[in-house]
Each structure stands twice: as structure tokens, then as C-alpha cells.
Amino acid sequence: MTTELLQQVRVIDPVSGTDEIADVLIADGKIQAIASQISDISPDTQIRDCRGLVLGTGLVDLYSHSGEPGFEERETLVSFLQAAAAGGFTRVSILPDTSPAIDNPALVAQLQKKTRGQGDNSFSPSPTPPISPSPHLYTWGAVTLDVAGKQMTELADLAAASVVGFTDGLPLDNLGLVRRVLEYVQPLYKPVAFWPCDRQLMSNGVMREGADALRFGLPPVPASAETTAIASLLELVAATGNSQVHIMRVSTARSVELIAAAKANGLPITASTTWMHLLLDTKAVKSYDTSLHLDPPLGNASDVKALRAGVRSGVIDAIAIDHAPYTYEEKVQAFAEAPAGAIGFELALPLLWQHLVETGEFTALELWQALSSRPAQCLQQKMQAIAPHQSVELTLFAPQQTWKVDRKNLYTLSSNTPWFGQELLGRVVKIWL
């Protein structure tokens, strides 16, 4: 295996809470040494000048959508993993809303077998997609059969098949079923994730309620469609006890307040928002770009401010990508008719870095924690510190590298993003596993 020396790289370690310039020596799948300067190296060591580059723990995505099985024209498992690797992710988790849905152990085993042996050393993005993408793929097991929200799956069987947790990734309207799920998962010691949304309050809305929704003439979604569902869920969590609950896709300021109060009262919950909800608000929808049709919809400016503060404080534990690929034909419709979702693996880190870290609103360490160590904790996993003798799980990022978001530079099969055709600053150079 290649021995590599990364000279004068900025090492961001969210586990130890450090941000420093150092030399890092990597060999045999492990970090051999970290020092202010390393000169004692073998003659065959590959030396890389990393001044201006960032080395951090691998990024972890809590939930995203794979086209395969069922919608391979949107995304295959291979392209899904390639896109994740190109974005710096070393662990990714797919939602069960595939076709067929991931609601039985046989399909979990089939997906694991298909992705096994995809390569576990390293991947460097290049103009040609790599043969062996390397991120670890985890699967969420469906809470209900065919994610239809009516009949609970055999949760114990799915747990035995090594799903990372349970979710439908869709709103569950039956609170009696939600309560039973919370009771059933307690002895399984795996998280259960809910997207709180009252579909009756949401109705046919596609944009956050407010002045911009009126101005753009789009059906509104009141913030209460999310907050009432969160309040109900929190009451059930308090009533049932020790279930580890994750609240997905938090998008309103009031939701942050409810979650903060619940955590202060000791409820066993974690929460996440998506990367696009941290960057954009309702004013962006004036373009009517269907890649901005999201579920939940983009928030108002006050929501974005509260979400950013929630991530920094830890009330919102993690930033999720919620990568949702769709074909051109599916997205080239009227805004309200197009399916909700956008791609994100290859764009999230560069855009978050430029808009949050370069502006000084977040420290680099705060952003990396929300994209790496804290999402791992939400999945009840651990991220190792960047230290000698530890196995490598690292991402090397060039914050000032310019690239254009177009088909020849994207590894995902889809291109539904409002940044398509634009030049961005920041790109992942390499990941190690």
C-alpha cells in the first residue's frame, strides 16, 4: 500500500476539537504520524504539498435517496456511492423508499451483497468515474410495509439484518402507530427517525407560507404543519420513555425552540436539518427552478437564521444531505407539479464552506462536527480522532479549487440542482478508508 506524506495540511478533527497545521504520514491504512514537521520518511513515500488544503474526518450522511432498486434512471447504487465519495463522504445511509421498499431482511441482504467489495482503500475524483467507490453504505429499514404508513414491519427481523435504524422518510399520520413503533424499538437499541409533517395542514402547499409565497403565487405550507407534528411526536417520546428518536428535516425557527426545550427536559432525541435549508430561503424560489421545490419547503429568513444558530449550538445535531436525484423529464414541469428534492453530495461541502466558514459565521470545526462526528453519533456510531495508529477515515478538501457544476464533472446520474451550470469554489481532492 502507498505511503503518503501530506505536508502542512490544515487538520480539522471534530473528535478532539482541534484545528491545526501539521504534516500527516499515512501508510498501511493507518495514520503513522502527525507532527509540525515530518522528515523521517522512506524513499518511496509520495509527498503532497497540502498548503491551503483541509484534512478532516470522513463526512457522514444521515439519509439520502437511492434510485436503485426501482428507479435506476435516477441513480444506481454505484453512481450514488461515487457521488458520495466525490463529495467527501465516507459513510452514507439510504432511505427505504425504493421500489420495492426496504421493508424486509432479504432486500437488506441483497443491497449489502451488491455493494460489498466496491473497494475499501481510497478514491480520488477524476474526469472518469472510479471503478471502486469506497463509502460505507448503510440502510434504513422501513417502519411500515412498503412505506405506506399502515402496517408495521417486522422491526426485530430488520434489526437482525443490520439496518442502521428505522424510518419511512415520509410523514406518519397515525399517532397510534407512532406510539407502537416507539414501544417496539426500545429493546432493539437502534434509532427511529421521523419526518414530522401534518399532511392535512400541508395540503397541496409547495412553499413556506409568507409574503414570498403570496408574491410568487405558489400554494403555501404553514410552519405549523411541521411544528404541530413535532409537538405531538415529543409528547409521545415523553410518554414512552427510552426510544432513541431522530427528528429529520427540521426547517422552522419554532421547531428549533421545541427541540431545544425537549432536550433540556432530557428527552432522548437528536435532530437534523438539510444543507439547503441552511443556505437558501424563500426568496430563492423567485426563479421557479424546480430544484428548489423541496420537502419540507425552504424557510423564511428567520427560519434560516434559527437553523444556523441551532446547528452551532448543537440543538440541531447534524446537517443531512437528503440527496434526491430525479431525471430531467421528471423535473421539467411546473414548480408545483415537479417531485420535491435536489441532489447534494458533491455540492454540500463546497457551498457550506464558502457561505458559512469563509464568511466567519461558522468555524471550520463547527461545520465539520455537524457533517461528520455528530451525524455518526445520531446513528449510534463513533468517529475516530485523527491520531497516530488510528485507521484512516479521512477527507482531503481544497477550499479554493474552482470547478463547474456540469455533466462531465458530476458523478451522480442526475443534475437537479439550482447550481447546475455555475462555477463553485471548493472540491474534495481525496478520501481514505
Q: Which of 230, 99, 103 is nearest to 175 (CA)?
A: 230
Tell me, yes or no, whether 161 lies in a domain. Answer: yes
Span 61-118, pLDDT tens digits? 999 999 999 999 999 999 999 999 999 999 999 999 999 999 999 999 999 888 875 5
Question: What is the pLDDT, as a whole number, of residue 179?
Answer: 97
Number of domains making up the chain: 1
Tell me, yes or no, whether 419 lies in a domain. Answer: no
- Please report, rounded to a whole number, the percentage of residues in the chain having pLDDT higher than 70: 96
Question: What is the pLDDT, as a whole number, of residue 246?
Answer: 98
Residue 40, C-beta contacts closer than 8 angstroms, at least 6 positions apart:
none
Q: What is the CATH number of the domain that holds 212?
A: 3.20.20.140
Query: Of 61, 317, 322, 406, which is the active-site residue?
Result: 322
DSSP 80: H
Strands (E), 184-268: 192-194, 207-208, 220-221, 245-247
Whether pLDDT at 222 is above 70: yes
List residues bridging with 11 in a β-sheet.
20, 55
Task: Quote the pTM value.
Answer: 0.95
**Mean pLDDT for all residues in the chain:** 94
Question: What is the pLDDT, as a whole number, of residue 345?
Answer: 98
Residue 214, C-beta contacts closer than 8 angstroms, at least 6 positions apart:
220
Span 6-61, pLDDT tens digits? 999 999 999 999 999 999 999 988 999 999 999 888 989 999 999 999 999 999 99
Tell me, yes or no, whether 397 lies in a domain. Answer: no
Tell me, yes or no, whether 381 lies in a domain. Answer: yes
Tell me, yes or no, whether 125 lies in a domain. Answer: yes
Question: What is the pLDDT, as a whole number, of residue 241?
Answer: 84
Span 246-288, pLDDT tens digits? 999 999 999 999 999 999 999 999 999 999 999 999 999 999 9
Span 126-162, pLDDT tens digits? 455 553 447 999 999 999 999 999 999 999 999 999 9
CA–CA separation, 99 vs 37, rounded Å? Answer: 52
Tell me, yes or no, whether 3 lies in a domain. Answer: no
Q: Which of 397, 396, 414 is nearest to 405 (CA)?
A: 414
Question: What is the pLDDT, as a whole number, of residue 121?
Answer: 45
pLDDT band at 166 (very low <50, low <70, confident <90, very high): very high
Query: Please, how many CA atoms are within 13 Å of residue 266, restricted to the half-sphere of its CB?
Result: 3
Q: Which of 399, 387, 405 is nearest to 35 (CA)?
A: 387
Whether pLDDT at 400 is above 80: yes
Query: Please, how many CA atoms are within 13 Å of residue 392, restricted to the half-sphere of its CB?
Result: 27
Domain of 371, in residue numbers: 59-385
Tell me, yes or no, whether 371 lies in a domain. Answer: yes
Residue 183, C-beta contacts closer than 8 angstroms, at least 6 positions apart:
240, 243
Active site residue 49: no
Tell me, yes or no, whether 109 lies in a domain. Answer: yes
Scan for cell 439547503, then name that residue: 276
